[in-house]
Amino acid sequence: MNPIHRYLLRYGMAGLPSDASARALRWERWLNWPLFAVLFLAIPAFYIELSGRDPELLGIGRDFILVIAMSFLAHLSTMLLLHRRRMDYLRRNWMHVLIVVGASLNYFQVGSPENGLEWTLRLIWQGTAFIRLTGFLTGLLRPGSLGSVLVLAAGILAVAGLGFYWLDPAINSYFDGLWLAFVSAATVGYGDVVPTTPASRVFAVFIVLLGYAVLSLVMASIASLFVGEEEKELRREMHRDVRALRGEVAELRREIEGLRGKYPGTGPD
């Protein structure tokens, strides 16, 4: 079992086993990408709560949380319908059950919590959603899928720039927010633009952690291109050597057959 699979299995994000039906595996591949996109709604939902008690914004936050709960519930129902070993699937994917329960509780409790316990529970749920996002990253993107990784990185930066622009009054334009998102994700920290509010600083923590994950995948994908080219060249050399060896063996066989014809009775009995 490779380290990525062990990580996904340990934290209840392993998906279907490899011996599942082809139909179930196909549906899982199709559904994981939209589920990954939907889970990003947990971040703006959290910051809507931080932004205050505006009823219209809180309604949007409730809608985001409801979409997450319904999406994960629909995914679980579909997989349980397609996979015969239902308890095994739940054991391998208990994180999805936790997200459904947490999102449902948050849907009925959304607003400005009145005590520390409620905030603690919300932060635990946000942490669960973030862990699941990293699980999607490791499960959906492998070293070598450079195009998909770059598109994902660009999308995260675009959304993060908008988030900084919305959360921090010191960010005067979307491009300043985009620049802050880039230097945060790349952990450069030039200091020309910095988060100044508690909400934007917490948001920067999310961006730094996501940046580590995505940039690591970008670097791994680039490195795998060079390694892949070296492996291709090694395979080509091996094929050339095998062809040469086959030619030498064929030549030796012809020589042995010629000797047998020249000296009858020689050779193995």
Condensed to tens digits (0 to 9), the pLDDT of residues 34-68 reads 888 888 888 778 777 766 667 777 788 888 889 99
pLDDT of residue 53: 61
pLDDT of residue 130: 78
- Is pLDDT at 152 greater than 80 in this prediction? no
The per-residue pLDDT of the chain, averaged, comes to: 79
Beta-carbon neighbour count of residue 126 at 10 Å? Answer: 19
pLDDT of residue 71: 94
194: region left, alpha or beta (phi > 0 left; psi from -120 to 50 alpha): beta
pLDDT of residue 263: 66
Q: Name the residue with higher pLDDT: 239 or 71.
A: 71
Q: How far apart are the first and last CA of the chain?
A: 51
User: Which DSSP symbol is given to 192?
Assistant: S
Condensed to tens digits (0 to 9), the pLDDT of residues 155-164 reads 888 888 888 8
- Is pLDDT at 112 greater than 70 in this prediction? no
Q: What SS3 class is residue 83?
A: coil
The confidence band for 113, taking pLDDT boundaries of 50, 70 and 90, is low
SS (H, E, C) 24-55: HHHHHHHHHHHHHHHHCCHHHHHHHHHHCCCH
User: How many angstroms separate the CA atoms of 43 and 163, rounded?
Assistant: 9
- Is pLDDT at 72 greater than 90 in this prediction? yes
Looking at residues 236-249, what average pLDDT do you find?
A: 81
The verdict on pTM exceeding 0.95 is: no
Looking at residues 239-261, what average pLDDT do you find?
A: 80
